[in-house]
Amino acid sequence: MLLDEAPGEAMGSENVEIIFRPPIVGRILSERFLIEEDLSDPVLAGYYSSHRVKDLKLFCRDAVLNIVNFTPVFEPGPSFRQVCQALALVSQPNLAKMIETGVLFDGRPYSLTELSAGDRLDNLIREGHRLELELAARVIEQVAEGVSAAHRKGLLHCDLRPSNLVVSDEPRQFGSLKILHFGVAWPIDVRGDRFVHLPVDSECFLYAAPEAFVRLGHRSTASDVYSLAAIAYRLITGRLPYDDCSGPTEILERASRGECLSPTKLRTDLTSESQDILLSGLSFEPAWRPQNIEDFAYRLVSSMRSVLTVSKIQIHPVPAEQVETIPVIEAEEGLPELVVPAKAHAFVGAQRRMPAIISDPAVAWVLIFLLLGGAFSIPLGESLLKGEKAEAAVETVLDSATEDRSKRQLRFWIESRSADGPISVSEAISSPLTDAQISLVSDSAGELYVIGESNDAAGRIAYRLLSQPAGNETIPAGKAVRTAPIDLINDRAFWIVWTGKKFQDLDANLVNAVAEKPIEGSIRALRHFLERNRNLRLEISDHGSEMVLNGIGDRLVYRLAVPEK
């Protein structure tokens, strides 16, 4: 990582205009960058240009040179260079690696990023076509994890859209995704000038949050949540939330009235829970949207994958030489065409080649007799089974367990031998303590867990168990539990979990997620459990030296975040 320390931070005064002419492909810029290909968005070329270059300074490496082609109006807050320098310190596999940032000889700020192999997402999705839920879930997850890592450093994107997402060379797998162009919409366009004057056919305003269209509109993490929700809507339904609009004004009007077509009307295998989560991210007011993009994504993906778990079907591959090509099935008016893969449905061709055993009239008469017999048997069957149904219904009600609505309370505090006297939880997690421990006590018997959350060397989520191992005996009410020493430097959060009964999806995955060689599927399942139950029916109160959690039910889950050092 090289950070070019050009003198000065100013990029020109408010009234100074930089005369810019794009570099010609094949020329050398600043006696260092050999311009090989223009990657700029034609709509944004006057503001921001991007080029694939050879860096002649360091071994002719391939890179992407991003240049700001105008002088931003001075506003309080970070500059483009400061954003790039902060981004260079973020290690996350879904963010395009920032190599260097600086200022060119004519005063234009630039950034140098790694060249991401693959293709842009907008080239891989066609209008009117949608992705399988699993592929859409992978894209949503990776975008959220990358943007969330930047949010934790105080960085916003504000221009998330398919053309700023690059997927791996195997587009059907979507195994790797890179997010490009941080800092273009924010802080450079902090006043919203560029979005106000976007052309009608621009991709930017189709995915931008409503506040981006307003001059001096306040940008926040909710702005990126909206853009991710719009991308998810497009991947899942094959359409944009507000398509057929003539411009930003009409989008704002329709968004303010909530006139977005229900996703379940466009995709029948999408649950109402997934729809509610998705539409919450498209709310017009930023305060109505989820504020944490990672929480929003994992709740959405978890609801989508609950359908996939139930509806998995095993398909046996058929040799290509035994497969007959199946023609395209004509779709109903208003719906996209559906192409049936011949290999996955070879049995259709086999059935079509089979000779008819029973004539069509005979089949029709058999169906008529069956329908008549069924119609006459319904009243008789109901009279015979009425008593049995009533008894079975009563037994079902009596046997079903009622929802646990008992009130629970969990208290925890942080202790340290090096601290002089009691310290508050907020002060403790902000202090560089090396001998800190978390102590917990519950007013009800159950299982108590404290789970540390951090990032591994590759930037992925990692967990470690700080309290009792999974499977130990139930901890009595009123008995204090003390954790192992906590890491206030590397851990970014601690999960406080109390359960009044055994949860298979917690116990089974916790052991594999915190093992020496953790299993990726168990890490994901554990995270879904934690995020799904986080702060559910929970009241949190800070009493200085201790935190008190008051909740209802058989589980209390709380996430104690550690401030960035």
> Could you read off the pLDDT of 145-183 as tens digits, one per residue?
999 988 888 888 888 999 899 987 654 455 578 998 887
Average pLDDT over residues 456-479: 77
The C-alpha angle with vertex 256 and arms to 252 and 257, in degrees rounded to 5, equals 120
What is d(CA 395, CA 374) in angstroms, rounded to the nearest whole number?
29
Q: Hey, is 378 helix, strand or coil? A: helix
Tell me the C-alpha distance between 439 and 450, whole Å: 10
Q: Do 546 and 485 have their domain in common?
A: yes
Take residue 210 and report the two structure tokens written for it: 């409503």
Predicted pLDDT at 336: 44
* Among 105, 205, 83, 94, residue whose Cα is nearest residue 155: 83
DSSP state at residue 266: H
Q: Mind giving me the DSSP string for 173-209?
A: T---EEE--TTTTTTTTTT-HHHHT--TT-SHHHHS-
Query: Is residue 59, in this structure, part of any structural domain at all?
Result: yes
Same-domain pairing of 142 and 101:
no
Q: What angle do CA 530, 279, 525 make, to 5 degrees?
A: 20
Whether residue 366 is contained in a domain is answered as no
Beta bridge partners of 61: 55
**Each residue of 89-148: pLDDT tens digit?**
888 888 888 888 888 877 788 889 988 888 888 888 876 678 888 889 989 999 999 999
Pairing status of strand 437-442 against strand 447-455:
unpaired
Query: Do residues 140 and 108 share a domain?
Result: no
Q: Report the pLDDT value the prediction gives residue 429, as an integer from 0 to 100.
A: 80
- pLDDT score of 29: 82
Same domain for 221 and 168, yes or no, is yes
Picking from 89, 114, 139, the residue at the C-terminal end of a domain is 114
Question: Are 173 and 214 found together in one domain?
Answer: yes
Tell whether 506 and 531 lie within a shared domain: yes
Number of domains the chain is built from: 3
Q: How far is CA 463 from CA 92, 120, 391, 490, 494, in A?
A: 17, 32, 49, 12, 9
The boundaries of the domain holding residue 134 are: 119-196+203-256+270-309
Residue 72 lies in a domain: yes
CA 319 to chain centre: 37
The answer on 305 and 285 residing in a single domain is: yes
29-38, 55-64, 423-432, 447-456: least confident range: 423-432
Q: Same structural domain for residues 178 and 64?
A: no
CB 269 within 8 A of CB 307: yes
Q: How far apart are CA 483 and CA 450, in angstroms?
A: 7
Mean pLDDT of the chain: 75
What CA–CA distances, in Å, run from 212 to 88, 145, 152, 260, 468?
A: 26, 22, 21, 19, 48
Confidence of residue 402 (pLDDT cuts 50, 70, 90): low
Q: What is the pLDDT of residue 300?
A: 92
What pLDDT does residue 76 have? Answer: 55
Same structural domain, 487 and 442: yes
Query: For 234-238, 354-358, 423-427, which range has the lowest pLDDT when averaged over its residues?
Result: 354-358
- Residues 356-400 pLDDT 10s: 445 567 767 777 877 777 666 665 555 555 555 444 444 443 444
Q: Which residues of 422-436 are buried (b: 16+ CB within 10 A; e: fewer)?
A: ebbbeebbeeebeeb
pLDDT band at 2 (very low <50, low <70, confident <90, very high): very low
pLDDT in tens, 331-344: 444 444 434 344 33
Together in a domain, 108 and 235: no
Coarse DSSP helix, strand, coil percentages of the chain, rounded to the nearest 5 percent? 35, 20, 50
Q: How far apart are CA 29 and CA 67, in angstroms?
A: 11
Question: Mean pLDDT, to the nearest integer, of 244-261?
Answer: 77
Query: Is residue 72 very low, low, confident or very high in pLDDT (cuts 50, 70, 90)?
Result: low
